[in-house]
Structure 1
Amino acid sequence: MARRENSEINAGSMADIAFLLLIFFLVTTTMDVDSGIARKLPEKTDEKPEVIIKEKNVLDIVVNRNNQLLVENEFVEVTDIKRLAMNFIDNGGGLSTAKDGKPAEPCDYCNGAKDPASSDHPTKAIISLQSDRGTTYGMYVSIQNEIEGAYNELRNKLALSKYKRSYKDLLDDYKDNGSESLKEKIDFLKDSYPQIISEPEPIK
């Protein structure tokens, strides 16, 4: 009787298939990238100049561990932040900050209520955002987006009034060609409504 030989499996083709599958998954798999909030931090300095800030020039926003919002000790919704911030920043109820020896002047481009109990000038308006250690990241980002939206809308209104173009269009054009004249316009809008946000230590 003939002796049967043990058949062997050719593993060479299996290795090729495994390699191709590995390449396929490496090419098609997306990698999660951590994203954050763009913020320009102040430069470190040894000097600590004493700065006197009027209470009316600070808009207090507090969010607790339950994601409840207080603006000037009144409960509000996230969707109210943008409107309240714009009214505060654009109030124009006083004088600007004197620079380079020039006298302080009233805001001639502000369209606010000029309430003497609110901010004097956009260059003096400070938004203070204090969160709790239990505040969710999503809530914190939503508030930041509303504040950012307030500044952008105010700059957009001024851009349309002065240059007949939106702030976003000016930014897009500057990214495309980097014109010096466009940079001057953008800098003027940013200086007119400087983004001044204070973030105290989170509540424990």
Structure 2
Amino acid sequence: MKTERKEENAIVIDILPMGYVSEPRQAYKREPIVQAVGLDQFKLFELITKQGADVQIHDRVYIGDAEREKIERVKRRISYEDLTATAKLELPFVVEQIVRENESRFVDFFNKSVPITPKFHMLHLLPGIGKKLMWEVLEQREKKPFESFADISGRIKSLPHPDRMIISRILREIEDSNEKYHVFTSR
């Protein structure tokens, strides 16, 4: 479902204008740090902003290889544990925003998901989907591919909020580094 490639864009989830307080360097030597989540694979990043760049929480910033407007460089990839308290609070809202903006990409998951093993299907990875609901999804998508989250919830009455299931799964993959299957995120 996903491919390993570089993130091109990210959404800011926290800004530390004076860097980390716990950093042993003197305050005037610290760099302004931005924590962000990638749009495609939900990778977590620590970014260094350009001098005088105005960056706000929920801003979309370019982090690809070409000329960057607000970001000087990508300092490193970080794990969920490295996020600040503010970033941890903002992460669910940003993930929800990304899922809603890219609805067709996540609806395709319902249309194109395949068995992982003979007894375990990709749909089982979503919270709340068991064998019975999985078979109902497979039957409905065989009749006609799903077009939107509203279409999914309309055709499958016991699946009222498929978008929330996707969001929950993405957050679980980000938060738990020991998760065996990464469907939407990159390790």
Taking structure 1 as the reference length, the TM-score comes to: 0.23
Q: Which has the larger radius of gyration?
A: 1
Higher strand share: 2
